[in-house]
Structure 1
Amino acid sequence: MSTDHRDPPAFESAGVIELQSAVDSKITGVSLYSSRAEITRQYKFTVKTGHNQVAILGLPNLLETESLRVEGRGLATIHDVTVSKAKGQHVGTSSSELASLLSKKKQTASALARCEKSLAALEQYLNSLTVEHLEVSKLDNLMENYDSAGARLDARKSDLAEQLRVLDADIVLECLRIAVPQENDKLRVKAEIGVFADTGGEVEIALIYAVPSANWAAFYDIRVDMAAKDDPITLIYKAAITQNTGESWMDVPLLLETSTPSFGVSIPQLSPWNLDFEKRYFGGNNKTVSSHAMLDLEKKNKDGMRYRRALPDSSGDEDEEGGDDGLPALSVRGASVTSKGNISATFRVPGLVSIPSDGEAHNFTIVQLKLKAAMSWVCVPKVDTKAHINARITNASEYTLLGGAASIYVDGSFISRSRIPQVSPKESFDCPLGVDPSIRITYHPRIKKLSRSGFYTKTANLVFSQRITVFNTKSIAAERVRIADQIPTSQNAQIEVRLVSPALTLPADAGTGSMKAAPKRVEPQMLTVGKGVVAQWDGVDEPDAAVETLGLDRKLNWICAVPAQAKINLVLEWEVSVSPASASGRVIGL
């Protein structure tokens, strides 16, 4: 079938073909995005030679007119398509299948009534016989014929009653299939299509259109096996699908799109940003005061975004196979995934799904993945002595993980809820797994000592010591426990803070809190302070760490490997020196 925008041929009108969308078509595909759905509906009908006007009723009110396009097959030409609101018209609640079932029911009921009359007549005949009219020698033959005829009629009656029961059930199902609630005013859009045919015959067309009020969101179950060495994470990828478009999706193939259609996205423009001196005037002499000129930062914030519709049009520029870029589908367990570069992916939900138009979330499992993860424990005992479990998970699958809520289960027990960011294939992400009570942290009271140095002028030196105990009560070792703490940062040149233990050095001269540039690049330190214990400035192991700024915030970490049922002790010691000029003043922050 072709689409022709030229003048129609001189065919005479062959009449109007009226189709009810809910009855005379089937949804053959749904592509669901984060904020809308693209529906493909297929219709089959017979056209006559000439101009056929096809009226399709019962399309959703939410149908985005500019997204509608028509495709088809057959010896006919599509000439024009118009869309309008069919006010006051109701979607039909009948079908050819229902009419056929009702006709069969009527015939079966008549046959059953005849059978019952025959049985009644047989009984009446037997009751009418008397000894005057019946010889005793013929009694056996009569009763044999009665039993034979009665059994035959009883079997016929039973068979007809069963046929009637099946027909009633089929009629109920068909009525439910085609029923549209009378109060449902969401299906009032009509599409009229001009179809020209050289000869009569069967034609097949597909309407493809977009509707809002349909979306899907990703959510996850994450199950952690702490004793597993390989692939300790089982990630169950799920989709919550909601639609309130007015039409139900029954037994449809469903595609979940990870991309988001863009509307009105254009490259932003920079607006002028001007600098000038503020001018002040007194009275009417127009005298400009410049002795206290102020800097005026003028920034004109103009929104350069222009909005446009970005739904598929009917120009025919798109690939007829749905815009697929031709990459082969990857066979994986669960839903199949078709990668489209590094930007988006499409998930094909296995089998056929049914999603009513009820605005409720309907959940489906996309896939279950076994993933590798590096487990660690993080504690900031100065604030809270609880040890938080963190997993650095690598998405080794071909699936793009969309951002969504996650329920965390550790060793079969529900621990917490978290959130997964958007993660591309082969990318890693951090996932907090809740609190682990089997790692016990004790933050002992801080010890302070005061001393003075200098012969003539005494400098006050305060030495602080903080002890931290880490107790692993597990039956297995905790390989990576991160303990975070800090020492104070001086904001005054007369107060000097020096880290004593662990003996980490700064890559920049920041002894007084000033952020001077280091004379040369210093590699980040990872200082071994005990068996299985490494001290480092906070941020050393971040991939984008700025080496020259490490330690300027005076935050440090211990990375500990704690054996099973073992304790380790960590000591943080620092010295605060106050110059004699300000030694009598109270130091704020200690």
Structure 2
Amino acid sequence: MSDHPPSFQPTDAIELQSVAASKIIAVSLYSSRAEVTRLYKIAVKTGLNQVNISGLPNVLETESLRVEGRGAATIHDVTVSTAKGEHVPTTSPELVALLKKKEQTQNALTRCEKSIASLEQYLASLTVEHLDFSKIENVMDGYNTAGEKLDGRRSELTEQLKALDVEIESERKRVAVPHENDKLRVRAAIGVFAEQAGDIEIALIYAVPHATWKAFYDIRVDMNTKDDPIKLIYKAAVTQNTGESWDDVPLTLETSTPTFGLDIPELQPWNLDVMRHIGSNKSRKRSAPIPLMSSRMQQNDMSQRRESRFLMYDEESSAGSLGGSEPMAFLGASVTSKGNISATFRVPGRVSIPSDGEAHNFTLVVLSLQATMSWVTVPKVDTKAHINARITNASDYTLLAGTASVYVDGSFISRSEVPAVSPKEAFDCPLGVDPSIRITYHPVIKKTTHSGLLSKTATHTFNQRITIFNTKSLPVSRVKVVDHIPTSQNAQIEVKLVNPALTLPGNVRLSSNANSRGVNAATPQKIVVSKEPEVVAQWDGVDEPDCVPESLGLDRKVNWICAVGSQAKVTVGLEWEVTVSPASLQVAGL
């Protein structure tokens, strides 16, 4: 065995065309860019090999390029450059032939025009001195025949020229289109030292912009079932215009959005000073504006993930099966990682996405979800009953914000917006208007009484009735009716809610028989109005997940939660008093 190390003299360079010599084994797609992993199988010789890979995308972010390998070899250096663009042809044999034919046609038209002019000149030169009168008829007949022939020829040649111009313009546009490889001109030169001749694998991992994906959904609601009435079809619209086609690739979608140097905001000093009077009009002006907050934004590159993803390459592709009259099985996406911040999941099977800038849609998964159905009406504004589903995301998937097509019992209802929803989180989905729930907003009944001897006080009592009629063949468990009472903006006007007897936060004073009237002492903002049918009155917002108890009732909005049987009616009442002192005071808005 020789003690001398192998020669470091470079062998012949290995020239590879990226698309032909490699295969994309992984694509991780973010909201604004993609990370592509290409695998090359290369035969190297002992010593230093210069591997030149051409045909990489022009938009490749060179600072993101990583080279990883497997085999008995060492990577020495990596150089990235941009090759000169290939010559873009400006002509073609077809274009040359068309231009020649146009020239010939133009010459023929010129000759035709000259013949017509000569004929006109000849006829104008004839006089009685040169032509016998008896021959005039023959001359005129000959002139007309020759003229008609020449006119027809001129029209034919003119139409030919127009058609040739169209063909020439079309051919010029065709040959002016840049060569496909004009978008693939980045070149990577990799020095590889091999201890012995053999085959090695090299993976190039790089980021490219002009690639994105957006989530959108189909939400299908079955109103006749209580167990998992929602089917949410999670879809992805993938668009890429990177210059290289993604053919038969495993695609991973990332729900996280890379940030670019986002720093924690810093509070700037907040100074107070005495206002100074300027001029005789004593107008006031601050000495300086008060900056409240500033943030520093810097642009950075997408964080690089260091795992050797190409080492996990699997040659086997996923495949579904067809069987007789059985419905086609659906292969759902798999969650490869999940957490409190983001999730990553793999599109089922392998996909092909050309570099065309068009949206290519894929179904990720079909989720069966639970939902609480409710009918909401604000009859003072509109007596329609709107259906709302509060859907709980019981899956492992993070739902990104996107549009949703909503179908109720197979019929398209509306387009809605799905917010960003984490696993186990709930969100509201409007399902349109239900005409079978009929709301009647009865005319308000008003009574006025006066009291006091010296200082008269007027008390106006208002009574508002609202009726809910369920014309369905099935009972409805939750109809939410929203109304409100006025708010006083003056100490001489007092507004009091009489029925339902809800208490404002901070003013909880319940009598000893409060519970006998259906008041919950622990939560005075809820009152059981009726047990059969079940009707609960409460301050609006008490059942919201972000409810702040101290703020309930401040906007004076009240709602009732009603259970309404099939073909049944429920009536709720709202009563309030407005006391005005003195009674002669004119109240706006009453």
TM above 0.5, yes or no, is yes
Corresponding residue of 2:445: 447
The within-5 A match list for 1:370-519 is 370-509=368-507
Conserved? CA contact 1:416–1:433, under 8 Å = yes
Shift of 1:445: 2.2
Shift of 1:433: 1.6
Shift of 1:508: 3.1
Q: Which stretch of structure 1 is more off in the superposition, 543-552 or 48-57?
A: 543-552
Corresponding residue of 1:151: none
Corresponding residue of 1:526: 526
Normalising by structure 2, we get a TM-score of 0.74
Q: Does 1:204 align with 2:206?
A: no
Q: Does 1:271 align with 2:259?
A: no
Select 1:555's aligned residue among 557, 560, 564.
557
Q: Does 1:258 align with 2:282?
A: no
Q: CA RMSD in A?
A: 2.8
Shift of 1:181: 6.9
Q: Amino acid of the residue matched to residue 274 of structure 2?
A: F
Q: Amino acid of the residue matched to residue 589 of structure 2?
A: G
Q: Does 1:232 align with 2:229?
A: yes
Conserved? CA contact 1:496–1:577, under 8 Å = yes
Distance, in Å, in 1 between the alignment partners of 2:351 and 2:366 is 19
Distance, in Å, in 1 between the alignment partners of 2:471 and 2:560 is 19
Q: Does 1:579 align with 2:577?
A: no
Corresponding residue of 2:299: 307
Q: Does 1:66 align with 2:63?
A: yes
Q: Amino acid of the residue matched to residue 307 of structure 1?
A: Q
Distance, in Å, in 2 between the alignment partners of 1:575 and 1:280 is 48
Q: Does 1:15 align with 2:39?
A: no
Distance, in Å, in 2 between the alignment partners of 1:30 and 1:551 is 53
Conserved? CA contact 1:44–1:205, under 8 Å = yes
Select 1:346's aligned residue among 322, 344, 347.
344
Q: Does 1:25 align with 2:22?
A: yes
Conserved? CA contact 2:51–2:191, under 8 Å = yes
Conserved? CA contact 1:275–1:296, under 8 Å = no
Distance, in Å, in 1 between the alignment partners of 2:85 and 2:31 is 33
CA deviations over 1:540-568 (Å, ceiling 9, x no partner):
22344332332121110000001011111
Corresponding residue of 1:169: none
Q: Amino acid of the residue matched to residue 573 of structure 2?
A: V
| Cα 1:563–1:63 shift into 2, 3 Å | same
Q: Amino acid of the residue matched to residue 236 of structure 1?
A: I
| Cα 1:394–1:302 shift into 2, 3 Å | closer
Distance, in Å, in 2 between the alignment partners of 1:209 and 1:190 is 13
Distance, in Å, in 2 between the alignment partners of 1:213 and 1:181 is 19
> Secondary structure at the residue paired with 1:272?
coil
Conserved? CA contact 2:6–2:195, under 8 Å = no
The within-5 A match list for 1:75-224 is 75-89=72-86, 182=179, 185-224=182-221
Normalising by structure 1, we get a TM-score of 0.74
| Cα 1:236–1:321 shift into 2, 3 Å | same
| Cα 1:184–1:89 shift into 2, 3 Å | closer
Q: Amino acid of the residue matched to residue 402 of structure 1?
A: L
CA deviations over 1:381-409 (Å, ceiling 9, x no partner):
11111111111111111111111111111
Distance, in Å, in 1 between the alignment partners of 2:61 and 2:70 is 24
Q: Amino acid of the residue matched to residue 311 of structure 1?
A: S
Conserved? CA contact 2:72–2:196, under 8 Å = yes
Conserved? CA contact 2:263–2:295, under 8 Å = no
CA deviations over 1:118-157 (Å, ceiling 9, x no partner):
xxxxxxxxxxxxxxxxxxxxxxxxxxxxxxxxxxxxxxxx
Q: Amino acid of the residue matched to residue 480 of structure 1?
A: R
| Cα 1:292–1:57 shift into 2, 3 Å | closer
Corresponding residue of 1:298: 290
Q: Which stretch of structure 1 is more off in the superposition, 240-249 or 434-443?
A: 434-443
Q: Which stretch of structure 1 is more off in the superposition, 546-555 or 488-497?
A: 546-555
Shift of 1:227: 1.2
Distance, in Å, in 1 between the alignment partners of 2:503 and 2:195 is 89
Q: How many residues align?
A: 468
> Secondary structure at the residue paired with 1:548?
helix
| Cα 1:281–1:412 shift into 2, 3 Å | closer
Conserved? CA contact 2:203–2:310, under 8 Å = no
| Cα 1:38–1:457 shift into 2, 3 Å | same
Corresponding residue of 1:542: 544
Q: Which stretch of structure 1 is more off in the superposition, 338-347 or 8-17?
A: 8-17
The within-5 A match list for 1:324-339 is 334-339=332-337
Distance, in Å, in 2 between the alignment partners of 1:60 and 1:389 is 50
Shift of 1:522: 6.6
Conserved? CA contact 2:85–2:182, under 8 Å = no
Distance, in Å, in 2 between the alignment partners of 1:297 and 1:183 is 56
Q: Amino acid of the residue matched to residue 408 of structure 2?
A: V
Shift of 1:323: 12
Distance, in Å, in 2 between the alignment partners of 1:223 and 1:16 is 59
Conserved? CA contact 2:277–2:284, under 8 Å = no
> Secondary structure at the residue paired with 2:550?
helix
Distance, in Å, in 2 between the alignment partners of 1:303 and 1:9 is 57
Q: Amino acid of the residue matched to residue 263 of structure 1?
A: F
| Cα 1:75–1:546 shift into 2, 3 Å | closer
> Secondary structure at the residue paired with 1:87?
coil
Q: Does 1:45 align with 2:42?
A: yes
Conserved? CA contact 2:37–2:310, under 8 Å = no
Distance, in Å, in 2 between the alignment partners of 1:494 and 1:303 is 48
User: Percent of aligned positions with the same letter in both sequences?
Assistant: 68
Conserved? CA contact 1:247–1:357, under 8 Å = yes
Corresponding residue of 2:568: 566
Conserved? CA contact 1:15–1:51, under 8 Å = no
Distance, in Å, in 1 between the alignment partners of 2:297 and 2:542 is 40
Conserved? CA contact 2:217–2:405, under 8 Å = yes
Q: Amino acid of the residue matched to residue 584 of structure 2?
A: S
Distance, in Å, in 2 between the alignment partners of 1:392 and 1:337 is 24
Select 2:359's aligned residue among 358, 361, 367.
361
Conserved? CA contact 2:42–2:199, under 8 Å = yes
Conserved? CA contact 1:47–1:197, under 8 Å = yes
Conserved? CA contact 2:505–2:550, under 8 Å = yes
CA deviations over 1:410-463 (Å, ceiling 9, x no partner):
111111111111112122222222211111112122222222222333212222
Distance, in Å, in 2 between the alignment partners of 1:387 and 1:356 is 47
> Secondary structure at the residue paired with 1:400?
coil
Conserved? CA contact 2:479–2:563, under 8 Å = yes
Q: Which stretch of structure 1 is more off in the superposition, 482-491 or 497-506?
A: 497-506
Q: Amino acid of the residue matched to residue 72 of structure 1?
A: G
Corresponding residue of 1:517: none
Conserved? CA contact 1:339–1:346, under 8 Å = yes
Distance, in Å, in 2 between the alignment partners of 1:421 and 1:300 is 30
Q: Amino acid of the residue matched to residue 539 of structure 1?
A: G
> Secondary structure at the residue paired with 1:15?
coil
Shift of 1:529: 1.8
| Cα 1:89–1:45 shift into 2, 3 Å | farther
> Secondary structure at the residue paired with 1:276?
coil
Shift of 1:585: 3.7
Distance, in Å, in 2 between the alignment partners of 1:491 and 1:404 is 42
Q: Amino acid of the residue matched to residue 68 of structure 1?
A: L
Structure 2: gaps (5+ residues): 89-176, 313-329, 510-520
